[in-house]
Chains A and B, each alone.
Chain A
Amino acid sequence: MSSIAEATIDEICVVACAEAFRGDGEILCNPIGTVPIVGGRLARATFESDLVYTDTVAVLPANNFPVGNPDAPKVVESWVPYRTVFDIVWSGKRHVLMGASQIDQWGNQNIAAIGDFRQPKAQLLGLRGAPGNLVNHTTSYWVPNHSTRSFVASVDVVSGPGYDRMRELGSPSNRFHEVRRVVSNLGVFDFQTDDNRMRVASVHPGVTVEQVIEATAFELFGTDDVVETRLPSDEELHLIREVLDPGGARKAEFR
């Protein structure tokens, strides 16, 4: 294991994103955003080698290839144009790790708009694929700017539904729903309470539980006896720095 002085926060977050895919086996690993993408590639390059991985254009590359270099050589194992991506979403053989402009204690996620959706203060991406993702396969989230503006009491628009919404819908509509983890720049969170509310799974080295509570607009569970997010191994640091993101693109997500 490497020491904390060696691993930086972006690398710790990359590993925390990679850990989201542990145990997934032979499914489509579909991270969105630079830190999640490096994390997904790291998971496949190390402990979760059965994952298939999208280049987010239209193919599944079978080799380890760096972010930020569209000309990097790819060993193509299959063709996945957008139509096939949707077919895979509906088949369930996918785990998406995507962003959340807002997220609440039940895991409801907003990437559509800030304010009233009829005439928003800020139009964001739109619903994109979030509604379909959440009711069809496992989803995780990446929030690089943990604050009371992103971890909110109530999201303005529900793009990806959380556990309260899915409980209300009930069976059979909720049978494929799983929000596995939320990785932020402060810690890792899951929904492993009796009623599936957000819980602290770990805080990143150098971050205190008080900081996390302060930056969250709702009550967090699991704030006693909190463990630290694990550090990257030497092999992981090598892969991140030399193979998967030699240009350091991952650092740009931390402002």
Chain B
Amino acid sequence: MGAAANIPTPKEAVLPVWAGSQARAIVAAMVDKRMTEDEVVSELKDGMTIGIGGWGSRRKPMSLVRAILRSDLKDLTVVAYGGPDIGLLCAAGKVRRAVYGFVSLDSIPLEPHFRQARQSGAIEFTELDEGAFYLGLLAASHRVPFYPTRAGLGSDMLKMNPELRTVTSPYEDGEELVAIPAFKLDAALIHMNRADAAGNGQFLGPDLYFDDLFAMAADKTYLSTEKIVPTESLLDEGSVHTLRIQRIFTDGVVEAPQGAHFTECPPDYGRDEAFQREYAATARDPEAWEAFRSTYLEAPSHAEYLKALEARA
């Protein structure tokens, strides 16, 4: 399934009704970027800075996160609107530094594995205002060194992050602002409801979050998706406004049905609250963590993980 093996050829397609009944068109030849989770992870290296899309316990690329968990990767810097992605990577000892505005499971406000990592001093951390975090992604996306913001003045954000600098407006007002540095990412992992094999991604839920910026801020972006569809079918389930990930920013596409489990991925599925509660409880009980790890995290592939889920009473 490697991309290089495919020589793309143009093809004729029947267009959807809005383009005119039975209109036909030649769809441009596109590269095929399909990969497996393990092929994605084989392109990552120790010490990399990896951005993860989604928000809290919402539309997280969990099949890719689990592939990292079962790899030898270590010393990662993880950048995310954090949820169980950061929690699991901390619990598995993969994280050197976490960069976040918050880490939460939404229905369970505090992420227990992340809390343990912070309270035991196991990880380095960069904790920012969550709006300032958006500007770090935006600066990296636009290839500027920083974006200015008022957020952080007066709070302990500057004390917690002594590397942060302020800038003075060059205009008459002379206002002092915080310069949020670009979050340059070696790689980004995002999960989309639909995508084509060339890496055009579509979100069908209520919020894209910041996944487009993660894709633009990273040298390499790997997109997992509930379902790979032909390019000419991308408008079957959503309007043009849902096509927010462009293939010029993606490098690999992984088909992973239920790939965001146990986080939510509407409208395809909601959060698996019972599973999330079980996950959260493992932070208080080493035996429960061991059972959870061997049953779900050591599953050698996403397909095996789905089988383990099915076997769950």
The interface of chain A, by Cβ under 8 A from chain B, is: 57-59, 79, 81-83, 86, 89-90, 112-113, 117-132, 134-136, 157-161, 165-166, 168-169, 172-174, 176-177
Contacts of B152 in A (CB 8 A): 131-132
B118–A130 touching, CB < 8 Å: no
Give, as a whole number of angstroms, the nearest-CB distance from B177 to chain A. 9
CA distance A118 to B121 in the complex (A): 8
Give, as a whole number of angstroms, the nearest-CB distance from A32 to chain B. 11
Cβ of B109 < 8 Å from any Cβ of A? yes
CA distance A2 to B207 in the complex (A): 42
Give, as a whole number of angstroms, the nearest-CB distance from A213 to chain B. 28
- Residue of B103, B127, B130 touching A129 (CB-CB under 8 A): B130
- Per DSSP, chain A at the interface is loop
How many contacts A-B (CB < 8 Å)?
127
Contacts of B109 in A (CB 8 A): 125
Contacts of B286 in A (CB 8 A): none
Q: A86-B131, A120-B118, A169-B153 are in contact. Are A128 and B101 (CB under 8 A)?
A: yes
Stretch of B1-9, B154-162, B274-282 with 4 or more beta carbons under 8 angstroms from chain A: B154-162
A125–B206 touching, CB < 8 Å: no
Most chain A CB within a 10 A radius of its CB, from B103, B127, B151, B152: B151
B160–A117 touching, CB < 8 Å: yes
B209–A161 touching, CB < 8 Å: no
- Residue of A57, A126, A132 touching B102 (CB-CB under 8 A): A126
List residues of B (121-165) whose CB comes within 8 Å of A's CBs. Answer: 121, 127-132, 134, 149-157, 160
B119–A128 touching, CB < 8 Å: no
CA distance A118 to B125 in the complex (A): 9
Cβ of B227 < 8 Å from any Cβ of A? no
Interface residues of B, count at CB 8 A: 39
Give, as a whole number of angstroms, the nearest-CB distance from B274 to chain A. 17
Q: A119-B118, A119-B121, A125-B109 are in contact. Are A131 and B154 (CB under 8 A)?
A: yes
B110–A132 touching, CB < 8 Å: no
B104–A123 touching, CB < 8 Å: no
Contacts of A158 in B (CB 8 A): 154-156
In this complex, what residue of B is CB-closest to A86?
A: B131
Give, as a whole number of angstroms, the nearest-CB distance from A90 to chain B. 7
In this complex, what residue of B is CB-closest to A109?
A: B155
Contacts of A176 in B (CB 8 A): 150
In this complex, what residue of A is CB-closest to B178?
A: A131
Most chain B CB within a 10 A radius of its CB, from A79, A132, A135, A158: A132
Q: A125-B110, A159-B156 are in contact. Are A132 and B151 (CB under 8 A)?
A: yes
A169–B154 touching, CB < 8 Å: yes
Q: A82-B55, A89-B131, A123-B114 are in contact. Are A134 and B119 (CB under 8 A)?
A: no
25 CB-based A-B contacts, threshold 8 Å: A58-B206, A81-B208, A86-B131, A86-B134, A90-B150, A112-B156, A117-B160, A118-B121, A119-B121, A122-B115, A123-B118, A123-B119, A126-B100, A127-B102, A128-B129, A130-B129, A131-B154, A131-B155, A131-B157, A132-B129, A136-B150, A159-B155, A159-B156, A160-B155, A161-B153
In this complex, what residue of A is CB-closest to B175?
A: A172
CA distance A136 to B151 in the complex (A): 8
CA distance A188 to B136 in the complex (A): 38
List residues of B (188-212) whose CB comes within 8 Å of A's CBs. Answer: 206-210
B206–A128 touching, CB < 8 Å: no
A122–B155 touching, CB < 8 Å: no
Give, as a whole number of angstroms, the nearest-CB distance from A116 to chain B. 10
CA distance A57 to B273 in the complex (A): 17
CA distance A160 to B151 in the complex (A): 10
In this complex, what residue of B is CB-closest to A122?
A: B119
In this complex, what residue of B is CB-closest to A81?
A: B207
Contacts of B120 in A (CB 8 A): 119
- Residue of A83, A128, A160 touching B134 (CB-CB under 8 A): A83
Cβ of B176 < 8 Å from any Cβ of A? yes
Contacts of B103 in A (CB 8 A): 126
Task: Please give 7 more A-B residue pairs, beta carbons under 8 A apart, in addition to A123-B115, A130-B155.
Answer: A83-B208, A90-B149, A118-B121, A122-B119, A127-B101, A161-B155, A172-B173
CA distance A166 to B154 in the complex (A): 6
